[in-house]
Chains A and B, each alone.
Chain A
Amino acid sequence: QKEVEQNSGPLSVPEGAIASLNCTYSDRGSQSFFWYRQYSGKSPELIMSIYSNGDKEDGRFTAQLNKASQYVSLLIRDSQPSDSATYLCAVNMGPGTASKLTFGTGTRLQVTL
């Protein structure tokens, strides 16, 4: 079992709809959680970071964290074709801040016209 789990998809949503991406992690002591977007052959691009339980909104993106359930999600509102990419959930499992990120395998999102 991977330490960070994501549904590989593809997740297909029509343009203008809400895309919901989910991630679970195994280390209950994890403190930092990130969502990255990666286009094919390109580098991961940071979308959101979240550290506390609850919701965090940034433009069309909302990250949700539930540490009790070891669950992180990303909502993309008003999905655009340019949002079509692989979304990587990443968890910093410590022990320190200069520690590695453990990635999920990513969810491929397709936004259809």
Chain B
Amino acid sequence: AAGVIQSPRHLIKEKRETATLKCYPIPRHDTVYWYQQGPGQDPQFLISFYEKMQSDKGSIPDRFSAQQFSDYHSELNMSSLELGDSALYFCASSPFTDTQYFGPGTRLTVL
């Protein structure tokens, strides 16, 4: 079965640089969620989109923005990167029901 696709899988950036993470949801899933997981921590919700509109917002820094496109894929844009942004970033998608399926994640390292 098709799963959530995330790219890139690994990303290394310098402080103050920008990064763009991409997420391709499972086909026919209309809702996308972004989570951040620091080392030894549980996933923290950042933001979600339903039918290309923002549906919920969590502890997402103002330096981050996201959107969902007409083909339902989503991008998380991160600017002025800080060392503390180093984490695993997961995208999850869900169909009409609320069960969320997670992608493999993007490991972001900020040097």
Contact = CB atoms under 8 A, between A and B. Distances in A.
Interface of A: 32, 34, 36, 41-46, 49, 88, 92, 96-106
B19 to A, nearest CB: 19
A102 B45 contact: yes
A100 B105 CA distance: 17
Contacts of A98: 31, 48, 50, 55-56, 94, 98
Pairs of residues from A and B, 4 with the lowest C-beta to C-beta distance, nearest first = A100-B45, A103-B42, A97-B98, A98-B50
Contact of B96 (A42, A97, A101): A97
A106 B96 CA distance: 27
What is the predominant secondary structure among interface residues of chain B facing chain A? strand
Interface residues of B, number: 28
Nearest to B103: A43
Interface of B: 31, 33, 35, 41-45, 48, 50, 55-56, 58, 88, 90, 92, 94, 96-105, 107
Contacts, number: 62
A44 B31 contact: no
A97 to B, nearest CB: 4
A49 B99 contact: yes
Contacts of B56: 96, 98-100
- Residue among B42, B96, B101, B103 having the largest count of chain A Cβ atoms under 10 Å: B42
Contacts of A34: 99-100
A111 B58 CA distance: 35
Contact of B43 (A96, A99, A103): A103
Nearest to B4: A43
B50 A43 contact: no
A45 B42 contact: no
A92 B45 contact: no
Contacts of A105: 41-42
Contacts of A45: 102
A86 to B, nearest CB: 9
Nearest to B49: A98
